[in-house]
Every structure is written in structure tokens, then in C-alpha cells.
Structure 1
């Protein structure tokens, strides 16, 4: 659906060339939710704006649904942009227009018939749960409601791709979750390809299928969210994972326990239905190994349940080794810390 090939973007600042993107190669499949995460200044906003050519790349190719946008003149590019919706961090609504008028705006620009516009606006307001607010103005709406208007407006032209530029960073956690749930619902109902940039790992973990980590204008890590979250390879990725994994607290606990004795400390990862099965208890009972849980969590990544436990094994070395091997044989990932 989206292919970026050797994408580069430079800016000129006080006569000097400043690179923002340095040879990005990325493929985003049709119908998936792809997250791009990075710190401020890493290049993620430039990257997403290059996808719809709001920023023209210095070099490289942006191919959306088989069309290379970098080769198009302004008129043809404008036509192709109708296939790419975009929502923004600060909503970008028309303050003097009602909710319905904001949603209708791109359709009026495209000179669609009034009856078609009214029908589409009604459908979209129902989709985003704002049918009762159609005659209100943006100043009368909450932040979450404003973003729902932005989503409805972005969907007005029936795009194949929806770009989300920090779409939840101005919202409180509860509202963020409701917007993420709406995006996931839209993805499933409409088969829409969604590209979402953020600096919050919680957002990536909640709805994304795959993720790319950008740092210094380069994609430093990419893969399925489960793989990247549970086995981060790059230091930048590990920083983001620590946002939701209490890693600093865990390091302190592990250091304290190691200082107290020579027990074996392991991190056990459960995926899918194994998350809810008593595999740990059964294994320790069978191997006669005593254990203490130092830290644990059960959560979901999009549709996949997962759990992680940090456990101190208090058996003798032979018992501990047998317990670890049995856990691995039963499909769990065990990391000796």
C-alpha cells in the first residue's frame, strides 16, 4: 500500500543543510495500523508529511497504492491526496463552522452534490458518535470531541490511507483510549490503512500491528509490535519500552535481591492463551522449586494477551535449571537476568 524508497529530506537553516530524513526504506501493508515512534526532533512528523507530500522529499520515492507521488504535477497530486486523509494534534478545525460544516468542508471543495454531502456527513457523524453535536461549534466541544470531528472530516473523501500526526498527545489518558478505540474500529470496519506517529509507547501497544522506531532521521528498528516491545534491540527502543514496563523500578528490585544472595532471577513471558494458564505454578510444583514473584503484569497488545513475571527461584541449582528448561518446553520464554 505504502512504499518509501531511500527517502531523504533536507532543510536549509542559515545557509547550512540540515538533514531531517536520511534514506528511509519502509513498506506499510494494506489494512494494517503502522506506528512510527520517536523523540521530538527525530524526524517522525517530517516523515508522515512526506507521505502525503505536504513536505516534498529532497530525494527518493513515495509510492501510495502503486502511484509514485514524487513524479506527479500539482494537479495530479491534488487528486491523489483525496485518497489520503490526515488528522492533527491540534485538530485544525474551522472555528466559525459547525461540526457538520467542518465535516462537509472537503466535500464542498470537491463540489459534490448537496444531497450526497448531507448523506455522507450523517454517516460519518454516526460513525464517530457525534450525531447529537452536529450543530455545535468547536468551542463548545471537548478535546476528544474535536478530534472525532477531525477524524470524520479526514474520512469524508473515502480515503484509502489515514495519517495520524500525534493525534492523541493533546488529550488526557481516558480520552486518548477512546480515540484509539475509535481508530481501531474504523480500521476494522473500513479496511483503512492507518499510519500513526507518536512519542508514547502506550499508543503503539494499544492498536498497532507493526512499528518503526525513528531516531536521528533513520529507522533504527522495525517489526511486529509484540517482537519490538518484548525484545527491544536498539537503545532508543528500550527507552520507549521503559515508559510502560517499570524497568527502572525492576532494575532496583533485581539489584537488591542479587545483593542479598545467589538466587536465580528470571523474566518469564507468556503470550496468547498461555497468559491465563497456571503453567508457572504447575512447573514449580513438579520440579519442587520454591519461587517468589518480584514483579508482574498482564496486559494486551492490540488483540494479543501477554504477561511478564519476574521471578526469584529459591531451589538448588539443579532444581532451578530443570524448572527453567520445563518452562521453555511448555512454550514460555525465559530470560535469566
Structure 2
């Protein structure tokens, strides 16, 4: 659906050349929710704005649904942009227009018939749950209600892609969750491809299918959210995962007093999370164990569990037990050897 091919963006600032994006290669599949996470200044907003060419890349190609956006004339680009909706951190509503009029605005720009505009606006007001607020002005709305108007407006022209530029960062946690639930419902009901940027790992784990981690204008890690969240490889990714991890870090201190014992972190993904795999394996190997820490949670629709376990075994016995756990499809990381 979306392909970014060798995208770079440079600009001059204070007499020096700034590399905002560096050789970005990215593919977003039709119908998925794809997250891009990074710290402030990492290049997230620049990257998402290259998709609809609000930011024109210095080099590279942007292909959306088979169309090379970077090769279009200005008039053709304007036409193609109607298939790409966008919602913003600070809503960008027109203060002099009502909810209904804000949603209708892009349809009027597209010169749609009045009766078609009314039908579409009524449909979208129902979709985002603003039936009781249709004739209010933005100043009369809460932050969450304003963002719902922004979402409805972005969907007005029936786009194939919805871009979300820090769409929840100005909202409180409860409102954020309601907006994320709405985006997930829209994705499932309309099969629309969603690309969102954020600096919050909780947003990624709640609704995204895949994620790319951006650091200093470069993608340093990408993959399925479950893989990236549970097995982060890059320092920046580990920083983000630490924001929302339910498991405290295990102290990497002395192994004194651990003779004959081995500490491991075991990760379960999917339905295996609820199966007694650990119990059965330990019973078969006749290895006593103690659970030191543990959590069960979800990454979007995927359940997962993490346990820190102390095996009352060492040397070859511990290695055979760990191998047996891995044969069951579990990810096992050795933390301490006795």
C-alpha cells in the first residue's frame, strides 16, 4: 500500500546542513496499523508528512497504492491527496465552523453535491459518536471530542490511508484510550490503512500491528510489535519498552548464594501464554523451580506473558532444561548462572 524508497530529507539551518531523514526504506501493508515511534527531534513528523508530500523528500520515491507521489504534477498531487486523510496533534479545526461544517469542509472543497455532503456528514458523525454535538463549535468541545471531529473530517473523502500525527499526545490517558479504540474500530470496519507516529510505547502496543523505531532520522529497528516489544535489539527501542514494561529489571549483581541455581526470563506469546508449559516441562525434567516475577498482558490482540524463574539446577542439567523449554517454542534468556 505504502512504499518509501531511499527517502532522505535535508535542509539548511544556521549555515549548516541538517539530515532530517536518512535513507528510509519502509513498506506498509494494506489494511494494517503501522506505528512509527521516536523521541522528539527524531524525524517522525517529517517522515509521516512525506507520505502525502506535505514534506517533499530531497531524494527517494513515495509510492501510495501503486502511484508514485513524487512524480505527480501539483494538480494530480492535490487529487491523490484526497485518498490520504490526516489527523493532527492539535486538531486544526476551523473555530468559526460547527462540528458538522468542519466535517463537511473537505467535501465542499471537492465540490460534492449538497445532498451527498449531508449524507456523508451524518454517517461520519454517527461513526465517531458526536450525534449530540453536531451543531456545537470547537470551543464548546473537550479535547477528545475535538479529535473525533478531526478523525471524521479526515475520513470525509473516503481515503485509503489515514495518517495520524501524534493524534493522542495532547489528550489525557483515558481519552487517549477512547481515541485509540475508535481508530482500531475504523481500521476494522473500513479496512483503512493507518500510519501513526508517537513517542509513547503504550500507543504502539495498544493498536499497532507493526512498528518502526526512528532515531536521529534513521530507522534502527522494525518488525511485528510483539517481536520488537518483547525482544528489543536497539538501545532506543529498549528505552521505549522500559516506559511500559510491567517487569522490573533484574539486578545484575553477584551470584553469591546461587550455587546450583540458574535464573532465566521466559517469554510466552499467543495462546501458549495460558498453557501450563512451564509446569509440565519442569515436571518431566524433575527440576524444582521458583517464580520470582511475572506478568501477563496483551499487545493489541496478542496475549503474552513474561516470567523470571529460578531453576534449582546448574551446568548440564540447567542447559537441558532450558533446551526443553525452547523446544516448546518459548523464548528463554539466561540472566544468572550459579
TM-score (ref. length: structure 2) = 0.94
State the partner residue of 2:11.
Answer: 11
Aligned equivalents of 1:26, 1:60: Cα separation in 2:
12
User: 1:10: Cα distance to partner?
Assistant: 1.0
Instruction: Name stretches of at least 5 consecutive residues in structure 2 with no aligned partner.
Output: none
User: 1:154: Cα distance to partner?
Assistant: 0.2
Q: Tell whether the 8 Å contact from 1:288 to 1:319 is kept in structure 2 after alignment.
A: no
User: 1:234: Cα distance to partner?
Assistant: 1.2
Give RMSD over aligned pairs.
Answer: 1.6
State the partner residue of 1:207.
Answer: 207
User: Could you say what secondary structure the match of 2:292 adopts?
Assistant: strand
User: 1:326: Cα distance to partner?
Assistant: 2.6
Q: Tell whether the 8 Å contact from 1:250 to 1:295 is kept in structure 2 after alignment.
A: no
Change over 3 Å in CA distance of 1:259–1:171 after alignment to 2: farther
State the partner residue of 1:289.
Answer: 287
Q: Which deviates further from its counterpart, 87-96 or 137-146?
A: 137-146
User: 1:289: Cα distance to partner?
Assistant: 2.5
Aligned equivalents of 2:328, 2:11: Cα separation in 1:
53
State the partner residue of 1:298.
Answer: 296
Aligned equivalents of 1:259, 1:293: Cα separation in 2:
19
User: 1:318: Cα distance to partner?
Assistant: 5.1
Q: Which deviates further from its counterpart, 322-331 or 220-229?
A: 322-331
Count of aligned pairs between the two proteins: 334
State the partner residue of 2:76.
Answer: 76
State the partner residue of 2:31.
Answer: 31
The C-alpha deviation readout for 1:264-320, integer Å capped at 9, x for no partner, is 111111111111112222333333323222221111111111111111122454553
State the partner residue of 2:65.
Answer: 65
Q: Which deviates further from its counterpart, 155-164 or 12-21?
A: 12-21
Aligned equivalents of 1:177, 1:335: Cα separation in 2:
32
Moved over 4 A (4+): 316-319
Matches within 5 A, 1:116-265: 116-246=116-246, 249-252=248-251, 255=253, 258-262=255-259, 263-265=261-263
Change over 3 Å in CA distance of 1:319–1:121 after alignment to 2: same
Larger relative helix fraction: 1
Aligned equivalents of 1:138, 1:291: Cα separation in 2:
59
